[in-house]
Structure 1
Amino acid sequence: MEWLRSPPCTAEYLGRRGILRFFDSDDYAQFLLTSKLNERRTQTDKIRPIRNLNLIQAVSCPWEAYNSNTFPKCLTGKVIWEEDVPVSVAALPKGALVTDKGIPWGVKHIQAPQAWGRTTGFRVKVGVIDTGVDFSHPDLRHSLERGINLLYRMALPQDDNGHGTHISGTIAAANELQGMIGVAPRSTIYPVKAFDHNGTAFVSDIILGIEWCVRNQMDVVNMSFGMKTRSRSLLNAVNNAYRSGVLIVASSGNDGRIGDIDYPARYNQTIAVGAINQANRIAKFTNRSGLIDIYAPGDRIVSAWLRGKHREMSGTSMATSHVTGAIALLLSVKPGLTPAQIKAVIKNSAKPLQHGKAPRMAGELNVMRMIKAAEFL
């Protein structure tokens, strides 16, 4: 089939795409066999335009392929076609590079340092689906495993944007003398590069990232990005991860919307995170609704950046990484907790917002209260 031999591409110029999901596992297996989607790739290949999404029994392919005469129409009626929409990382424009480091205000605010005598996140595996990470950064050098690059399979998931490095620093930076300390400095980051240098990916890239995290038994997954469109395929992947014991932490978005938050944070099987500022108020940029599970520091957050530097950034992305780090601290002392138990502990132990007007509003993250609440499980 000619469309299977299209040039390899990345998210920035693949064009319109779709996800074809199969209800019948035999149909899916037969499709893979007849379409030869599992052909060998050379070491120099980027990821091909046709991707197997085994976690949800689907494939991602270009719109032209679906509409072409070469597509196996015999399976129509047993499949669902869904737009493979673009997704963007959830951060506001970059702040300034900074020289002051140490323990950032957000890490202090959630009382992570008070917990370090008992837990530092040791041996907890954290998947970060993002733009990759700066493997040479001195603050992260001892906190990283190889992970995976979904855009260039044979390459390290090296960060060419900065967002993933910033997120990873807040979670697990460990360079007290010359750099900064993250929430869970002895947890281990497994970077999953699904986003290109513009901070853009397709839903199918995210699904592949979730699949990798499930297969490699991550304890918690940070997803600091969002989209406005509901995707059944992404929901299916999130549900499968949840049932497999892998909890996903997701950002609510930065549009300042009230009564609405981004996907995948909007799914019940994730932890939806909003941002607060240093004045203990909900940040103006945060999307918020009754679906927010927890608020955490997300305004003017200093963390690691490319080429060993540090940068101040704001966004629900930054808030999400604080929550992921806190979960790593929790799982280090309570390794058997299920996703449902973790979510309940985080919500029930939240500290009421000082300036929250609605009585049922989600509270803010507090590590000490969280760990204490987990003792009764």
Structure 2
Amino acid sequence: MKTFFKIVIISLSIIVSPSMAFGNTDKQEQTDRVIVEITDLEGKKDIKSITWQEFESMKQSKSSFSISATASTVEIIEPDYIRSIDLVNAASQELSNWATERIGIPNLKSQIPLTSNNITVAIIDSGVDYTHPLLENRMVSGYDFVDNDTDPMDEHYHGTHVAGIVAESTNENIKIMPVRALDEEGNGYDSNIAKGIYYAVDHGASVINMSFQGANYSTFLANAINYALDHDVLLVASSGNDSSNTDNYYPASERDIIVVSATNKYDNLASFSNTGNSIDLAAPGVEILSSIPGSKYGVASGTSMAAPFVSGIVAMLKIDNPTSTSEELELILKTHVDDRGALYWDPLYGEGIVNVSSFKHVNLIQKALNSTGYVSLPSYGNVRLDKEWTINFDRSIVDKSTVEVNLYAVDQVIPVQVSFNSNPKQLIVKGLDLYKPNSNYLLDIKVKNGKRYLMEFKTES
């Protein structure tokens, strides 16, 4: 695919000037591990990350390591490259919330109402301090692939800073999934990052934020990214901080994800930001205030800070357009930009600096009615608040996947239960929550390889 409010300091607030290494490509080119495919005597294959020393010992003696005791063959897939956080030193000691105001976050949050629907953004990073006051009510379960346990607590601070940007850019029904794949120094193996992507997809994330960089292309990591894309999950990556071309970095060179460069408060490209043909959008990434571990706040700079603004915004767009695909959401996102640099797309800003200050909330009922190619069914009034609908078809329904049923209120998708009864030509549809009185709803019925039907109804007072 190419193409804060002001922070409320709940407790102690400090500013940090990070001293972490940021995208050291020499280190990334050196790795002490390798990804191998192990085939046992029965032909079963397994993918593992092992040290080079283990690999050499396995070649010499299959019984030297428990990992190889039943192995028939061991083949190298590729080195287990190391990716690092996209972070540079913060130059300012000034508390500032300029970024959220600049890109219209207050308007976005006011336009999209809180609903019972949740969207999850996975943060694949150094973990998240899930006890932070800004974040504790936003969290869903995650995983630590560094220590291989269920406690993805941040042992650096980068992931907590990134998660805070997502939180400040969104309403409370945007949830955050902490996936720890980078260690206490901000470095992580491709094998753990890939596991994190698979985990996020399989556990319901709609958006994945990847604020890290690496100098080597990885087929193993690319396969994980493709898995997410195949499951209609939108991935957002930082472009990198070496003032270089994204063609030399991964995943920043990936054309099928959203790659974000960084700007400062004057709309100039950040001096450190990577650029290139893979850039989709730009977002603020200089002197960004956000959460850090220990119930504190700090300022940091980097394309790592730019990406989560986009991740948060696209998650909000997903709430507002729940049936839209990732490709459709990206197109919507790219209509909300301020064009900078060359006219239209350019390799510095992409389509432009994201700006949702003019965003208007979608009326889901009206959006469906404004579409084409559907059949209107008779409308109903004075409908009971516990009404369940019986849908009659002219042929037997093999299974529920034959028919897609959505129920819309003006500003949200209502979860429904679809069930069979004794008549194979009927489906029973029931909202999982009571309808609101004197409110408009729309039943949207799509038959696989058939027609689409829309039915409006209004509930009793």
> Pick from 49, 53, 56: which aligns with 1:64?
53
> Pick from 112, 117, 137: which aligns with 2:110?
117
Q: Deviations over 1:235-285 (max 9, x none)?
A: 111011100111110000001114646311211221100001100111111
CA distance in 1, matches of 2:358, 2:225: 27
Secondary structure of 1:93's counterpart equals coil
Alignment of 1:305 with 2:295, yes or no, is: no
Secondary structure of 1:312's counterpart equals strand
Q: Deviations over 1:90-142 (max 9, x none)?
A: 111256676x47xx221111111112223267611110001111122111121
> Pick from 206, 211, 222: which aligns with 1:224?
211
Shift of the 360–28 alpha-carbon distance from structure 1 to 2, 3 Å rule, reads farther
Give the corresponding residue for 2:345: 360
The structure that is strand-richer by fraction is 2
Secondary structure of 1:367's counterpart equals coil
Shift of 1:342: 2.2
CA distance in 2, matches of 1:136, 1:117: 26
Q: Which of the two has higher C-alpha Rg?
A: 2
8 A contact 2:90–2:286 mirrored in 1: no
Give the corresponding residue for 1:248: 235
CA distance in 2, matches of 1:95, 1:310: 16
8 A contact 1:228–1:262 mirrored in 2: yes
> Pick from 158, 162, 178: which aligns with 1:191?
178
CA distance in 1, matches of 2:113, 2:215: 35
- Residues 208-223 of structure 1: pairs in structure 2 closer than 5 A: 208-223=195-210
Shift of the 87–63 alpha-carbon distance from structure 1 to 2, 3 Å rule, reads same
> Pick from 317, 324, 333: which aligns with 1:346?
333
CA distance in 2, matches of 1:94, 1:155: 32
Shift of 1:74: 4.7
Secondary structure of 1:81's counterpart equals strand
Give the corresponding residue for 2:127: 132
Q: Deviations over 1:153-209 (max 9, x none)?
A: 33521111110110011101xxxxxxxx33444311010011111001100010010
Q: Which AA in structure 2 matches 1:301?
A: I
Q: Flag structure 2 segments of 5+ consecutive residues without an equivalent.
A: 1-27, 63-67, 372-461
Alignment of 1:81 with 2:77, yes or no, is: yes
Shift of the 367–358 alpha-carbon distance from structure 1 to 2, 3 Å rule, reads closer
Alignment of 1:30 with 2:38, yes or no, is: no
Percent of residue pairs identical: 30
Give the corresponding residue for 2:272: 285
CA distance in 2, matches of 1:217, 1:268: 23
Q: TM-score, normalized by length of structure 2?
A: 0.64
8 A contact 1:184–1:328 mirrored in 2: no
CA distance in 1, matches of 2:251, 2:82: 13
Shift of the 183–275 alpha-carbon distance from structure 1 to 2, 3 Å rule, reads farther
Q: TM-score, normalized by length of structure 1?
A: 0.77
Q: Which AA in structure 2 matches 1:84?
A: D
- Residues 137-148 of structure 1: pairs in structure 2 closer than 5 A: 137-148=132-143
The structure that is helix-richer by fraction is 1
Shift of the 371–316 alpha-carbon distance from structure 1 to 2, 3 Å rule, reads farther
Give the corresponding residue for 1:157: 152
8 A contact 2:111–2:360 mirrored in 1: no
CA distance in 1, matches of 2:127, 2:92: 21
8 A contact 1:171–1:184 mirrored in 2: no
Shift of 1:65: 2.9
Alignment of 1:19 with 2:35, yes or no, is: yes
8 A contact 1:298–1:314 mirrored in 2: yes
Shift of 1:372: 7.3
Q: Which AA in structure 1 matches 2:151?
A: L
Shift of the 15–201 alpha-carbon distance from structure 1 to 2, 3 Å rule, reads same
Q: Which AA in structure 2 matches 1:302?
A: L
Shift of the 261–182 alpha-carbon distance from structure 1 to 2, 3 Å rule, reads farther
Give the corresponding residue for 2:253: 266
Shift of 1:292: 0.1
Shift of 1:83: 0.5
Shift of the 221–157 alpha-carbon distance from structure 1 to 2, 3 Å rule, reads same
> Pick from 60, 84, 88: which aligns with 1:92?
88
Shift of the 240–155 alpha-carbon distance from structure 1 to 2, 3 Å rule, reads closer
8 A contact 1:97–1:309 mirrored in 2: no
CA distance in 2, matches of 1:231, 1:271: 18
Pairwise CA RMSD of aligned residues? 3.0
CA distance in 1, matches of 2:148, 2:71: 31
8 A contact 2:41–2:72 mirrored in 1: no
Please say which of residues 113-122 and 229-238 is displaced more in the overlay. 113-122
